[in-house]
Amino acid sequence: MSVEIMNQADNHCVVLQKQGGLARLLIKNPPVNALSKRVRLGLIDGIQTALQDPSVQVVVISSDEGLFSAGADISEFASGDVEPPLPKVLALIENAEKPVIAALNGPAFGGGLELALACHYRVTFIGNKVGLPEVHLGILPGAGGTQRLPRLVGVAPALDMIVTGKPVKAEKLPGLFDHLANTRELLDDAVSSLADKILNQRETIRRTSDIPLDASAFSPDLFARYRSGIARQTRGFYAPERCIQAVEAAVELPFEQGLERENELFLECLQTPQARGQQHIFFAERAAFHVEDYDRDTPVRNIAKVGVIGAGTMGGGIAMNFANAGIPVMILELKQEALDKGLGIIRKNYEASAAKGKLSQEDVEKRMSLLSGTTSYQDLGDVDLVIEAVFEKMDIKKEVFSRLDKVCKPGTILATNTSTLDINEIASVVSRPEDVIGLHFFSPANVMKLLEVVKAENTSAEVIKTSMQLAKTINKVAVLVGVCFGFVGNRMIETYSREANRLLLEGASPEQIDKVIYEFGLPMGPFTMGDMAGLDIGYFVRQSRKPFIEHDPSYCVVADRLVEQGRVGLKAGRGAYLYEAGQRKPISDPEVMEIARSEACRLGIQQREISDQEILERCIYPLINEGALILEEGIAAKAGDIDVIYVYGYGFPAYRGGPMKYADETGLKHIYDTLCRYRDQLGAYGEAWFKPAPVLKQLAEQGKTFNS
């Protein structure tokens, strides 16, 4: 029989139950058992009570929830209320004179795993996952994780877990657990038999901090090799290098000094703009899901079968998302040949994943079996959602939607993947505009995490809510936006591409511009990106946007000339750069600079040397300014939504927190003043394109930020 001697009425989130000589401390802090102040106080009280009670022989720390603990309550970082600090709680546990077992009844991450590391024994079940994901928040495990984990699992595996932040299955970490039950259900029995075994042993307290780190067990150049191995993917991030230094401290220093060094490095990370940026994105991603367009009572439609129109680049990738989630898809193409080609590319993609060991051959076949093809609209009668991904032409989209309206059952969500077209106009051709929505995937659609959910004038709350939830099912990060040209992401990127092109005319080279942007942290610069996407795409968009851009004769003229000469980018082997057959590496082409020179001369633009700083400001600040206009118009509900779009859709560095957070960190007054300076310096061009958004001016004057 167990007796509960503490409960939540004590204002603690830790319940102490006694069962014979066993005291169980159960963490109860839904939804994720964060180790917030009340949990830390509860653990201290619980442990002290158990230690003082002579009838208690063994203490077990576990939880009542489906997980052990997701770690620290990071909202407390900002408040600064860290008392009692977690390391202090863990020291109390580790120094306890009675054996303490951590029973991990579910995943343990961050501080949750650090808590387990400080216990004397650990038990869990096969398949349970643990990890130290702090690096994703721009920090490092600051409660002894970097010192204790290497002592238990070895330096190399610990280093990798801490620097990558990846979760790992319990059975892949020999040394960490004293016992692995076969299933979660068998965990209690495993804990009881371990407790019995411990009590029968003479030496019952095994402190992790006492375990010596055997330097001969790993190669002396481990750290140097690890550093060079991760240099590319951790470029610009502050925390990964500090994670490495903390593990080095574990190897080089006695435990207590190692803990001190870990704490110093933790505090160093915490104060960086990178940590602020990464934590901003963490919260913004979650906040993006909370929108005012529906509520708890809004019903959600069941999406059991999906239709996709068009088996091209996007249609194929979109279909894969659903097959990956186990949802059957019917793909419609105009001609059997196009359909076969599209399905063939999907199979090739899956086979490539299988070759890399990411999928089994069985998975490939299972996913392919969920994909069917048709050339007849009659086969779309039973789908719950249809996503159109045909050519970007309004008349074709309208024709597709009229046909869908006729064949789809009532309640089918009719979605378009258009990048730029007016969804209200598309919705105007159907009898049920409330069912029409934009689901804007990013290329490659099976890889990119972002989904812009675009609500049109008449889209119903039910359709919006279903779409937002569906994004989770297919493992996407959804952001709800309104209709305008290019929605949020592409509307903003237009300003960036325009400015990059103009800088070319003014004398910068594609290499210089791409280098500045790459060094700022994007995966590639605008010219490499343009060549990869195909310069013809932008060209056609410009043709349809003539009324908005023809006042500026310099608007992307070099790109226009390149396309007119057949230099459409990587696929043609020539664009802003040259490419060797089958190679993706851009090679400089003096001819492009020559085209820029002659166009500049024709337009009366004086070429000059342009500084890297000017390139950065002129590419990024107008993008921020467009974001401000988007907020003002209500196309995005909050600045964080824009940041999420840019980090997940455009590779804007997470450590800068997205463009709006970057602006906040830089100072809105500086952004505003700089835009005004270029407006004044660049004559008619400046007047046309460098007008600061009123909301930017207002916030700058008030000393405020976008993300307040």
Report helix, strand or coil for 636.
strand
The answer to the question of residue 512 lying near ligand NAD (CB under 6 A) is no
Interactions with ligand NAD, residue window 395-414 (CB under 6 A): 396, 400
**Of the candidate residues 391, 411, 457, 548, the single one contacting ligand NAD (CB under 6 A):** 391
What lies within 8 Å, CB to CB, of 441 at 6+ separation is: 314, 317, 318, 321, 417, 448, 450, 451, 476
- The window from 64-72, 125-133, 328-336, 578-586 that contacts ligand NAD (CB under 6 A) reads 328-336
The answer to the question of residue 331 lying near ligand NAD (CB under 6 A) is no
Q: Tokens in use for 116?
A: 């387990």
* Number of chain residues interacting with ligand NAD (CB under 6 A): 23
d(CA 110, CA 114) in angstroms, rounded, equals: 6
Sign of CA dihedral 471, 475, 479, 485: negative
The answer to the question of residue 332 lying near ligand NAD (CB under 6 A) is yes
Q: Is 574 left (phi over 0), alpha (psi -120 to 50) or beta?
A: beta
- The window from 68-76, 115-123, 272-280, 416-424 that contacts ligand NAD (CB under 6 A) reads 416-424
- The window from 153-161, 436-444, 464-472, 563-571 that contacts ligand NAD (CB under 6 A) reads 436-444
d(CA 661, CA 639) in angstroms, rounded, equals: 8
Helix residue spans in 633-667 (DSSP H): 639-650, 659-666
Q: How far is the CB of 352 from ligand NAD (least distance, A)?
A: 19
When the beta carbons of 223 and 650 are compared against ligand NAD, the nearer one is 650
**Of the candidate residues 47, 115, 265, 309, the single one contacting ligand NAD (CB under 6 A):** 309
- The window from 97-105, 202-210, 220-228, 333-341 that contacts ligand NAD (CB under 6 A) reads 333-341
The answer to the question of residue 535 lying near ligand NAD (CB under 6 A) is no
When the beta carbons of 312 and 328 are compared against ligand NAD, the nearer one is 312
**Of the candidate residues 26, 70, 390, 470, the single one contacting ligand NAD (CB under 6 A):** 390
Pick the closest to residue 448 from 311, 650, 584, 281 (CA basis): 650
The answer to the question of residue 303 lying near ligand NAD (CB under 6 A) is no
- Kindly calculate the radius of gyration of the chain based on its CA atoms and give it in whole angstroms: 29
User: If you ran DSSP here, which 8-state letter would residue 656 be given?
Assistant: G
When the beta carbons of 542 and 656 are compared against ligand NAD, the nearer one is 542
- Check: CB of residue 164 under 8 Å from CB of residue 187: no
Q: How far is the CB of 485 from ligand NAD (least distance, A)?
A: 12
The answer to the question of residue 312 lying near ligand NAD (CB under 6 A) is yes
What are 130's strand-pairing partners?
A: 108, 168
- The window from 8-16, 84-92, 311-319, 646-654 that contacts ligand NAD (CB under 6 A) reads 311-319
Q: How far is the CB of 27 from ligand NAD (least distance, A)?
A: 44
The answer to the question of residue 73 lying near ligand NAD (CB under 6 A) is no
- Check: CB of residue 562 under 8 Å from CB of residue 575: yes
Q: How far is the CB of 62 from ligand NAD (least distance, A)?
A: 47
Q: How far is the CB of 339 from ligand NAD (least distance, A)?
A: 8
- The window from 77-85, 327-335, 505-513, 651-659 that contacts ligand NAD (CB under 6 A) reads 327-335
- The window from 32-40, 126-134, 144-152, 332-340 that contacts ligand NAD (CB under 6 A) reads 332-340
Q: How far is the CB of 311 from ligand NAD (least distance, A)?
A: 5
When the beta carbons of 334 and 587 are compared against ligand NAD, the nearer one is 334
**Of the candidate residues 105, 128, 417, 497, the single one contacting ligand NAD (CB under 6 A):** 417
When the beta carbons of 102 and 390 are compared against ligand NAD, the nearer one is 390
When the beta carbons of 443 and 698 are compared against ligand NAD, the nearer one is 443
**Of the candidate residues 285, 333, 531, 536, the single one contacting ligand NAD (CB under 6 A):** 333
**Of the candidate residues 49, 424, 443, 544, the single one contacting ligand NAD (CB under 6 A):** 443
- Check: CB of residue 478 under 8 Å from CB of residue 467: yes
Q: Tokens in use for 41?
A: 């106080």
Q: How far is the CB of 419 from ligand NAD (least distance, A)?
A: 4
Q: How far is the CB of 312 from ligand NAD (least distance, A)?
A: 2
What φ, ψ does residue 4 adopt, rounded to 5°? Answer: -90, 120
Q: In what order do the strands lie in the sheet with 58-63?
A: 3-4, 14-19, 22-27, 58-63, 100-103, 121-125, 179-181
Q: In what order do the strands lie in the sheet with 371-374?
A: 371-374, 329-332, 306-309, 385-388, 413-416, 436-441, 450-455, 477-482
d(CA 313, CA 319) in angstroms, rounded, equals: 11
Encoded one letter per residue, x for contact with ligand NAD by CB under 6 A and - for no contact, window 558-577 reads --------------------
- The window from 322-330, 437-445, 589-597, 626-634 that contacts ligand NAD (CB under 6 A) reads 437-445
The answer to the question of residue 419 lying near ligand NAD (CB under 6 A) is yes
- Please count the CA atoms within 13 angstroms of the CA of 200 that sit on its side-chain side: 6
d(CA 491, CA 485) in angstroms, rounded, equals: 6
* CB closest to ligand NAD, residue no: 312
- The window from 134-142, 243-251, 391-399, 516-524 that contacts ligand NAD (CB under 6 A) reads 391-399
d(CA 640, CA 288) in angstroms, rounded, equals: 7
Helix residue spans in 7-85 (DSSP H): 37-52, 75-79
Q: What amino acid positions are annotated as catalytic residues? A: 114, 134
Q: Tokens in use for 212?
A: 């010596």
When the beta carbons of 69 and 528 are compared against ligand NAD, the nearer one is 528
User: If you ran DSSP here, which 8-state letter would residue 605 be given?
Assistant: P
When the beta carbons of 131 and 538 are compared against ligand NAD, the nearer one is 538
Q: How far is the CB of 530 from ligand NAD (least distance, A)?
A: 12
Q: How far is the CB of 533 from ligand NAD (least distance, A)?
A: 6
- Check: CB of residue 392 under 8 Å from CB of residue 418: yes
What lies within 8 Å, CB to CB, of 624 at 6+ separation is: 659, 660, 662, 663, 671, 696
Q: How far is the CB of 426 from ligand NAD (least distance, A)?
A: 10
Q: How far is the CB of 90 from ligand NAD (least distance, A)?
A: 48
Encoded one letter per residue, x for contact with ligand NAD by CB under 6 A and - for no contact, window 350-389 reads ---------------------------------------x
d(CA 416, CA 307) in angstroms, rounded, equals: 11
The answer to the question of residue 314 lying near ligand NAD (CB under 6 A) is yes
The b/e string for 498-530 (b: 16+ C-beta within 10 A; e otherwise) is bbbbbbbbbbbbbbbbbebbeebbbeebbbbbb
- Check: CB of residue 132 under 8 Å from CB of residue 112: no
**Of the candidate residues 334, 447, 587, 603, the single one contacting ligand NAD (CB under 6 A):** 334
**Of the candidate residues 51, 338, 676, 688, the single one contacting ligand NAD (CB under 6 A):** 338
**Of the candidate residues 234, 274, 278, 418, the single one contacting ligand NAD (CB under 6 A):** 418
Q: Give the chain's length.
A: 708
**Strands 129-131 vs 108-109: parallel, antiparallel or unpaired:** parallel
Helix residue spans in 210-238 (DSSP H): 222-230
SS3 content of the chain, % helix, strand, coil (to 5): 55, 10, 35
Q: How far is the CB of 393 from ligand NAD (least distance, A)?
A: 8
When the beta carbons of 388 and 614 are compared against ligand NAD, the nearer one is 388
d(CA 68, CA 108) in angstroms, rounded, equals: 5
Q: Which spans of this chain sit near ligand NAD (rule: CB under 6 A)?
A: 309-315, 332-334, 338, 389-392, 396, 400, 417-419, 441-443
